[in-house]
Structure 1
Amino acid sequence: MLLAELIREKDYIKESISNLRAHIEDLVLVRDKMDAKSNRASIDELLDELKELYKKYQQYAVTTGRATAQTTIKVNETELSLSDAIVIKEVMEHKLCELNLLLEYVVKAGTKEGIICLDSVEVLDEINGVRADIKALGLKIDRASWETEVS
């Protein structure tokens, strides 16, 4: 199985866990005693299913974690583990979010009285650079995920 497929399967299991939890929440509160008995039995079964899904999710998470730690990619003449590249991409995405908030603030400040001390064009240039870096790194991560065989 390819790492990308394993990651998709792990994400699917994670989504299934959330859906199952939501279904359990729907069954938690009833007004009728007959419904309560039925719901308790259903909830017990669903909790067992949830437990099994978590075991499976844990196995997939460990396997993907190992695979991303062992797989390497080259980024700007630097060799990184795939897991390091993923962390770097997450940090860059956080930076992009913060820069977007800063740009939004600068634009709003332009509607008020006073002197703006930060050039919105500089912030926008930085945003565009970070966005391009995220896209390039994301493509390298995706390519490595589709080229890595996991056993």
Structure 2
Amino acid sequence: SLRQELDMMKCGVSATCVHPGGIRTNIAQSSRIAKNMVGFMIESEQQGKDDFEKFFITTADDAARTILSGVRRNKRRVLIGRDAKAADWMARILPSAYQTLVVLKSRQEARKARRRAARYGTPASTPLHATYNNAGNQGGNQS
């Protein structure tokens, strides 16, 4: 809507919306992972970070070049990386099913992690939804 307002005003200013996929930076290694995810979806915090980092396929330099190119060409939207383009395509082609597919894939990955944990003796954690009570308090506290 900002782009439309600026276009209507003919003020010489424009806006480009950037939709990044995974950009390869040190963000994954500096991130924190919820302790209850270890054993539920991942075997260890480091393994979770390493797996997450695999999705970062576009370099920061490539992302910057793509963004600047899109701004120079006055594009309304700029998709950064093949993963962002694939997600955009899926959301357009399968608008209702897209989120369901993401949930199903996440569940599949969680099952794999639990099987690995059982195979190698890693304790499996309580599922994420079970760590919150009806009041939304973590760990079952009723206060």
Larger radius of gyration: 1
Higher relative contact order (CA 8 A, sep 6+): 1
Q: TM-score, normalised by structure 1?
A: 0.23
Q: TM-score, normalised by structure 2?
A: 0.24
Normalized per residue, which structure has more helix? 1
